[in-house]
Structure 1
Amino acid sequence: MTIQTDKLIDILWQAAEAEIMPRFGKLGDGDIREKSEAIDLVTEADEAAERLIAREIAALMPNALFVGEESVAADPALLGKLGAADLAIVVDPVDGTFNFANGVPLFGVMMSVVKGGETVAGIILDPFAGDCHVAEKGAGAWAVPLDGERKRLSLGAGLPVEEMLGAASTGYMYGEERVSLLSNLAKVRSFFSYRCAAHEYRLLAKGGMQFALYNKLMPWDHLAGALLAQEAGGHAARFDGSAYLPSHTEGGLLVATDRDSWQALRDTIFPNITMAA
């Protein structure tokens, strides 16, 4: 099957224009709900956008398993089917929902294509910038504006650990593990969190920073971004060095400009984690 990337991009633009952007800054109290905790939210935009995307995917790829963040919230068993699916479409309709719900324009729409347990395409759309970042396995990573020419993306050259800038999501680490990580992260030049993996991966893929670190692995948050970084020349692996696969929800994810930079950073911030054989 040929990956119909252009058609998938069109579907995401439809969702952004019809269901997401008209609601930005206009949500009422009843349009925002908590899921697992106060910082884990869902809005009417998330649900409406996912319904539109699911409907269009069913027409375009009727045999594909659809795994959306909100679909899994309603039917958790869907997540366990992803690794064995011949073809699956994984969607985060609004990545950065906390930002979106609070009127902060740092959110995106993410989609990945999984074939036989492997991510083969990823799309991260920014409705405000008017473009998306797209990767296809073996074909590179590209910035694709709504109007204009594609531009190849590259993470650029690696830097020593003490000069690295990156994103680190530590909200789902606890106790001594979190204390140790934060202490070791002090050895890099600077780190931050946008509370939006979509924008962090976009910045990484165009060389604006040198690493990204995540502990919680939900496929809609990371499959597209990990592939984007890899196709832009970077290296992505779980904390123990093992490959990151669509079926993984644990083990953390570290992404860096190249394999050597990944190893140096990993040894600095996780010195006590044993490397996989």
Structure 2
Amino acid sequence: GDAELAFVIDPVDGTFNFASGVPLFGVMLGVVVRGETVAGIIHDPVGKDWLIGVSGAGSHIRHAHGNLEKVHVAKPAPMSEMTGAVSWHYVPEPDRSRLARNQTKSLSQFNYRCAAHEYRLLASGHGHFVVYNKLMPWDHLAGVLIHAEAGGHAARFDGSAYLPSHVGGGLLVAPDRESWRELRRELWAE
């Protein structure tokens, strides 16, 4: 909303994994100033490292051993060479079937059931895209900011900018704007 300063935290992102004993979960923190996300942190408590992004300052990973390293999204590639994830949980038909069919146009797919780890993968250049339909701010504020500061592009399905106040409209995250356009066209093709 219009708060002067807000901290939006997801203390256990990947709750299903955590509850099932799968070590793919994380802690996410987004810092919002007057409706704009200005910082994001994703912590991997198992790997003991931190992905940190600050508006205008880039994104970095602080490794468990203490080293700080700048991260970058994957280089743009044709969709046939991309790896990505589509979170099916809240996608209604007919989009669910269309996305499932068209995702096979990419090289390979992953789904960690954990936005923290999926954003880490993308911001570090180890994956190309993710599609989310449900937009809870605690799931996306930190990740979208970190991804953008690592050089990536994210927008809602209609192409509009993702804002902290958005809880609908879906989200497509890609290496750059041109990749976003290709993915949007190809993933939703009839």
Q: What TM-score comes out, normalization by structure 1 length?
A: 0.67
The structure 1 segments of at least 4 consecutive aligned residues displaced by more than 4 Å after TM superposition are none
Task: Determine the C-alpha separation between the residues in 2 that align with 1:221 and 1:156.
Answer: 21
SS in 2 for 1:88: strand
2:178 counterpart letter in structure 1:
D
Cα displacement (A) at 1:115: 0.5
Is the Cα contact below 8 Å between 2:85 and 2:129 reproduced in 1? yes
Q: Could you tell me which runs of 5 or more consecutive residues in structure 1 were left unpaired when the two chains were aligned.
A: 1-82, 273-277
Deviations 1:166-221 (A, max 9, x none): 12101111222211121121211122210000000001111101111100000000
Q: Which amino acid aligns with 1:186?
A: T
SS at match of 1:132: strand
Of structures 1 and 2, the larger Rg is shown by 1
Aligned length: 190
Does the Cα contact within 8 Å between 2:86 and 2:130 map onto a contact in 1? yes
With a CA cutoff of 8 Å and minimum separation of 6, indicate the structure with the bigger relative contact order: 2
Measured in 2, the distance between the counterparts of 1:156 and 1:112 equals 23
**Is 1:86 matched up with 2:86?**
no
**Partner of residue 161, structure 2:** 243
**In structure 2, which of residues 62, 69, 86 is the aligned counterpart of residue 144 of structure 1?**
62
Q: Which runs of 5+ in 2 are unaligned?
A: none
1:225 equivalent in alignment to 2:153: no
Deviation at 1:234, TM superposition (A): 0.4
Q: Which residue of 1 aligns with 2:42?
A: 124
- Looking at secondary structure, tell me which structure has more helix per residue: 1
Aligned to 2:77: 159
Instruction: Give distance in 2, aligned partners of 1:101 and 1:236.
Output: 30
Task: Indicate yes or no: 2:107 matched with 1:189.
Answer: yes
1:163 Cα deviation (Å)? 1.1
Alignment-mate amino acid for residue 169 of structure 1: S
**1:173 matched to which residue of 2?**
91
How far residue 149 of structure 1 moved from its aligned partner, in angstroms, is 2.0
Instruction: Between 94-103 and 154-163, report the one with greater CA deviation.
Output: 154-163
Q: Aligned letter for 1:246?
A: P
TM-score (norm 2): 0.97
Matched, 1:198 2:116: yes
Determine helix, strand or coil for the equivalent of 1:183: helix
1:256 aligns with 2:171: no
**Aligned sequence identity (%):** 58
Structure-2 separation of matches of 1:110 and 1:169: 18
SS at match of 1:175: coil
Give the drift of 1:271: 4.1
Greater displacement, 226-235 / 147-156: 147-156
RMSD: 1.1
CA shift, 1:146, in A, is 4.2
DSSP 3-state at the match of 1:125: strand
> Residue 224 of structure 1 aligns to a residue in which SS?
helix
Secondary structure of the equivalent of 2:85?
strand
Alpha-carbon separation, structure 1, partners of 2:41 and 2:189: 33
Provide the C-alpha distance between the structure 2 equivalents of 1:187 and 1:149, rounded to a whole number of angstroms: 37
